[in-house]
Amino acid sequence: MNRNLNILTVELDIVRGDKAANLAAVDEALRIMPPSTDVVVLPEMFSTGFIVDADDANGLAEWNSGDTMRRLHRLSAENHVAIAGSFLARTASHIYNRAFFIEPDGSETFYDKRHLFRMGGETKVYSQGSATAPIIRYRGWNIKLIVCYDLRFPAWCRSTHDEPFDLLIVVANWPKARHSAWHTLLAARAIENECYVCGVNRRGTDVADGIDYATDSTSILNFKGKPVETSQHHCLRYASLSIDALASFREKFPAWKDADSFTLHL
């Protein structure tokens, strides 16, 4: 029988461009997390903040084999947890807003953000991802991973007959000004996919651009779009998700059987 999945979200007040400070905050969170934690979820671009200056982005971007990913691999292995989030990544010719899912055994899954936030200048600096958002099999759960603006596009977030998922993880830097849209969209994705949704946002203010982020905007929702019971300590939130409750609801209310088929064209 599949076990419950225990999630710890870390709503960081990201220090712009300061990888050492942001990684130290992750270290601290893992030192005080509940020992039963299975997955730790960090915000979008957790180590740098949301950077849309081309020169800054080029200076901060890292390879998958760089210091940030090596540090997360070590933390994952030492603490026996998976770690998800996104970071500022480079290849030989491109820069990406790259999501990651690092597992204790060293397995890693990456996803380059498909929907770039043009209103914030992301399209001018980053390359668009060319693959669908991955579904990761971890400790008996199917987990789909997307990034921030992806949340606004329901076809991109759809659970299908061929590739169903149990949990949608959304990592974000979603401004306070659009706080209502964030919570509405998270609930919509949970209801339409009959799945759990974990939306992890940053907090604080990005002093470089003056954008405010709401405190306590992270949400963990069940398959009805309702908040899951959590325990909270400062910027940390912990919840236990029940695979049995999810399976029971899907059996009693199998709306997924009547879903329309569609094909994504990349």
pLDDT in tens, 130-156: 999 999 999 999 999 999 999 999 999
Mean pLDDT of the chain: 96
* Strand-strand pairing, 82-90 and 211-213: unpaired
| Residue 1: pLDDT over 50 | no
In whole angstroms, what is the distance from residue 164 CA to residue 146 CA?
A: 15
Quote the strand ranges of 1-118, DSSP E.
5-10, 39-41, 82-90, 95-102, 108-112
Q: At residue 90, what are phi and psi to the nearest 5 degrees?
A: -125, 155
The per-residue pLDDT for range 199-254, each reduced to its tens digit, is 999 999 988 888 999 888 999 999 999 999 999 988 999 999 999 999 999 999 99
Which of 11, 44, 103, 122 does the annotation list as catalytic? 44
* Strand-strand pairing, 39-41 and 5-10: parallel
The CATH number of 5-254 is: 3.60.110.10
> What percent of the chain is modeled with pLDDT above 70?
99
| Residue 63: pLDDT over 80 | yes
In whole angstroms, what is the distance from residue 210 CA to residue 107 CA?
A: 37
175 — pLDDT class (breaks 50, 70, 90)? very high
Which of 11, 103, 113, 198 does the annotation list as catalytic? 113
DSSP string, 184-227: HHHHHHHHHHTSEEEEEE--EEETTTTEEE-TT--EEE-TTSPB
Residues whose CB falls within 8 Å of the CB of residue 103, separated by 6 or more in sequence, listed in order: 76, 82, 138
| Residue 188: pLDDT over 90 | yes
| Residue 67: pLDDT over 90 | yes
In whole angstroms, what is the distance from residue 99 CA to residue 108 CA?
A: 10
The per-residue pLDDT for range 194-209, each reduced to its tens digit, is 999 999 999 999 888 8
The pTM score is: 0.97
Mean pLDDT of 157-164: 92
Catalytic site residue 157? Answer: no
> What percent of the chain is modeled with pLDDT above 90?
89
Catalytic site residue 122? Answer: no
Burial class of residue 45 (count of CB atoms within 10 Å of its CB; 0-12, 13-18, 19+):
buried
Q: Which helix (H) or strand (E) holds 79?
A: helix 67-79
Supply the pLDDT for residue 209.
Answer: 82
Q: At residue 262, what are phi and psi to the nearest 5 degrees?
A: -160, 165
Tokens 């061929």 correspond to 162
Which of 11, 103, 122, 148 does the annotation list as catalytic? 148
Q: 109 or 217: which carries more pLDDT confidence?
A: 109
In whole angstroms, what is the distance from residue 201 CA to residue 210 CA?
A: 17
Catalytic site residue 113? Answer: yes
162 — pLDDT class (breaks 50, 70, 90)? confident
